[in-house]
Every structure is written in structure tokens, then in C-alpha cells.
Homo-oligomer: A and B are copies of this chain.
Amino acid sequence: MPKEKPLFYDHRSMLKERVGVAGVRSIDLVRLSKRLEKAQAKLKLAAADGSVGWLTVPERRADCREVKSLARKMSAGLKTLVVIGIGGSDLGAKTLVRALKPASRGLDVRFVGSNTDPEEIADLLRTVDLKTALLNVVSKSGGTIEPMSTFLLLRDRLMRRVGRKSHARQVVATTDRTSGVLRTIADREGYATLPVPDDVGGRFSVLTPVGLFPAACAGIAVDGLLRGAVEVRDSFLSTSVGRNDALNFAGLHYLGYARRGQRITVLMPYAARLDLLSSWFRQLWGESLGKEINVDGRIVGHGLTPVAALGATDQHSQIQLYNEGPFDKMITFIEVGRMREDFSLPNPFPDLEGVSYLAGKSFGEILRAERRATAMALEDNGRPNGVLHIPEISPETVGGLMTFLMLSTAVMAELLDVNAYNQPGVEKGKRIISALLGRKGFKL
């Protein structure tokens, strides 16, 4: 096991040699090499000429400095950060805060605005004193109903609490540099602002100010995130097909999907603090690859349904289905080499064999044994599964892991011949909502 590698993908149990007919034939993966190389070359070119923004984001150090300095300035004297965003505007930040927030540093962070559920907002208003809260409203266009309606209400309550004039000192708007209604409001009210880069779509924006500002306020070392991202990206761009983990990940999922009809992609970290990584991945994988039309305008109706699972918890919920149900899934575990904190089990009942065998074991050790046992059972039942290994949960490894998944998604889109960066299927619903709410110019 190459333990020194920061991130590696063990895909042996994705192969037919290991799991039988539901697995991918090694020879098919080899035969895909040319297409994988082509996808890699395309991304390499895009990274060099800057035409795909998210690939170069980790190098935008000026953005990062601006984020850190604003976070320091705006957090001073405050207690809670309230992030108001939805989808690409909050899932990345949620993932970072959940995985990495230090217990002893940074603001508490709450997320609202990804829903227009008044009960959630009422709960926030009951439990957060807006006098010591910083609002970070995140929307590129300012046209998204959920965060904007939430922001309008919270802004109103904040003004009632601290006064019309002072409230602007407690708002940061992350939005388009020049256009949109949130930009207009921010300029008019004198809010501090951070840019959503023009060339980075929401679901690829976690390492822009969209994700970095909440992370910095939460006390997370954002430079580490970027270092980890650069390392994984550069390794991807320079490693030849065959030994390239992200190419293998995409290639195997493509073959399982296209040749075996395995339309369900399960991401199952064995680490509670990575549970929201799966929620972030759901959007990335689902929205990027779920497309009716391919790049040539042909109707293809592609899509792999991402499923978020959590180990060991979901062993007692989903593993029955994964072991015995239809062969329609590929499963990826995430295993963490060592936990940041751990405990050994006491031995209070040495005479009771039903619990005494656990004595002296650490929770981390048990968790890794559970992961291994689940994989072995699945393999035994002929179910394709792979493992992403990281040595620990840190800004570097999380930045790397997210970059790995973005790269894999981009390669997968190349293999499926779909545009990873649009979402035409969301627009119709948005137009209908506007019409139902009586917005001018929108009709059913």
C-alpha cells in the first residue's frame, strides 16, 4: 500500500477479475485508453490556456488573500456566520465547514437560504443573535429565489436589531463583479463584496470566494485547501493513463454505465465528517452528467444517479440492498487512514464475550474493519466497489479529494460527450415558479 501518497484510488474490486460479470473487464479499460488520453489532453490544454476556469482557481492567490483579509476584518467581534446560498453557492462551503471546522477557532457557521422553509428560518432566529452575526449572501445573479428571499428577511431582522446604518457592516455579498440585482443592492447599501468568477460554474466553485470565505471565517486554513487541490490537479495532468487514478475512476464508471447499465453511483465515506462531501458530489455528478442532449445536439438522455451513503451507519440501512438487489450500482468508499481524535474501548465486562472482544480496540480501527468487511461482502456478492484512500481529514486532503472528484466528473462528461457546465433542465422549473409567483414577463 503506497501509504505516503496523499490520495489514491484502489479500483481492483471494480474489475471482472475480482467481482465477476458485473465488473469491468481490464481489457475494456485498456481499450478506453485513447479516449481517456484525449480527455486528459483537453483538460491539460484548458488548464494551460485558462479556458476552463475551475482548473486554474487554486492559483488565484490574490482572491485567496482578499478572502482571508476580509474574513479577518468582518469576523472581528462577531460570533456566528450565517451563509445564505443554495446548490453550488452553499454545498461546497457546507462540506468544508463540516469536514474541517476546528472546535476552538473561528465563527460558528449556520447555513440557511437553500430552502424557503419558514420553520428553518424561525429556528435560526430563535437560536442566533443577529447582533453578533455576519451574513454572507451568495448568489451570482441575485435572481435565485431561495437565498434572495431568505436574505431579504434576515436583512430586515438584522436592521431591526442593529439599526439601518450599522447593518451594512455585518453583510458580505458574494456575487457577480458587475451585474445582477444582488450587485445592485450591495453597491447601493455599501456591503463588502467578493466576486463569483465569471468563468467558474456554481458546482465547481468551492475553491473560489464562494467556498473560501465561509471556510476562512470558520477558522479553516484555506491555503491548505488550495495546496491540496494543486497537488491533485498537477498529478492528474502529468500522470499517464493506466496509473492515473481520476482517469481510472471515470473510465470504470463509464464502462459500468455504458456496458453494464449501472446507472447508480454510490459515494460512501467511512467518516461522519465527510457526509456532506457526498451531498456536494451529488450535485456535481448529477447536474454535470445528467443531460438530455449531447454536445452534438443529439438526444442521449444520459445520467448517473448519485447516491449519498455513510459508513458505518448505512450498513444498517442500505447494505442489504447493495448486496442482494439489482446489479445497477457502482460503490466508492472513502477510507481515512487515521482519525484526528480517537478512543480505546474499556473492558468493563471481561466475562461477557459479546462485548469483551472489543476491549482495547480503537474506534478508528473498528471503523476501518467495518469498511473492509463491507467491501469483502460486496465483492463476494459480485458487486463492483472501489476505495478512495486519504491519510487523514485535513485541508490538504479535502481540497485534493474535491479536486479529484471534479476532475473525474469532467473526464466522465468527455466520455459521455455531454456539456458538464450547463443545466438547461433547471430553467423550465425556474420559469414556472416565476410565473406562479406572478413575476412580470413570466407566463405559464
What residues of chain A have their CB less than 8 Å away from a CB belonging to chain B? 86-88, 91, 103, 114-123, 126, 142-146, 148-149, 152-153, 155-156, 180-181, 184-185, 202, 263-264, 270-273, 279, 282-283, 286-287, 289-293, 301-303, 305, 307-308, 310-313, 315-329, 339-343, 345-346, 348-349, 352-355, 357-358, 361-364, 366-367, 369-370, 372-374, 376-377, 380-381, 393, 423-426, 428-430, 432-440
How long is the Cα–Cα vector from A113 to B155 in the complex, in angstroms?
A: 39
> For A362, what are the chain B residues with a Cβ–Cβ distance below 8 Å?
118
Let me know if B352 and A326 touch, CB within 8 A.
Answer: no
Let me know if B119 and A271 touch, CB within 8 A.
Answer: yes
Look across to chain B and name the residue whose beta carbon is closest to the beta carbon of A442. Answer: B357
Let me know if B148 and A273 touch, CB within 8 A.
Answer: no
Distance from A272 Cβ to chain B, minimum over Cβ atoms (Å): 4
> For A303, what are the chain B residues with a Cβ–Cβ distance below 8 Å?
321, 324-326
Distance from A340 Cβ to chain B, minimum over Cβ atoms (Å): 6
> For A270, what are the chain B residues with a Cβ–Cβ distance below 8 Å?
117
Let me know if A366 and B116 touch, CB within 8 A.
Answer: yes
Let me know if B323 and A148 touch, CB within 8 A.
Answer: no
Q: Which one, B88, B115, B202, contacts A367 given CB within 8 A?
A: B115
Give the interface SS of chain A, mostly helix, strand, loop or mixed: helix
Let me know if B352 and A184 touch, CB within 8 A.
Answer: yes
Distance from A86 Cβ to chain B, minimum over Cβ atoms (Å): 5
A–B complex contacts, Cβ < 8 Å, 19 sampled: A87-B316, A114-B316, A115-B311, A117-B271, A118-B343, A120-B272, A121-B343, A146-B312, A148-B358, A286-B321, A287-B320, A290-B320, A293-B324, A302-B326, A303-B324, A303-B325, A305-B329, A316-B426, A324-B424
Number of copies of this kind of chain in the complex? 2
How long is the Cα–Cα vector from A118 to B432 in the complex, in angstroms?
A: 46
How long is the Cα–Cα vector from A149 to B362 in the complex, in angstroms?
A: 10
How long is the Cα–Cα vector from A204 to B167 in the complex, in angstroms?
A: 50
Distance from A275 Cβ to chain B, minimum over Cβ atoms (Å): 9
How long is the Cα–Cα vector from A354 to B435 in the complex, in angstroms?
A: 13
Distance from A205 Cβ to chain B, minimum over Cβ atoms (Å): 13
> For A91, what are the chain B residues with a Cβ–Cβ distance below 8 Å?
317
Look across to chain B and name the residue whose beta carbon is closest to the beta carbon of A181. Answer: B354
Distance from A159 Cβ to chain B, minimum over Cβ atoms (Å): 9
Look across to chain B and name the residue whose beta carbon is closest to the beta carbon of A143. Answer: B354
Let me know if A436 and B369 touch, CB within 8 A.
Answer: yes
Given the known inter-chain contacts A91-B317, A436-B369, please indicate yes or no for A358 contacting B149, CB distance below 8 A: yes
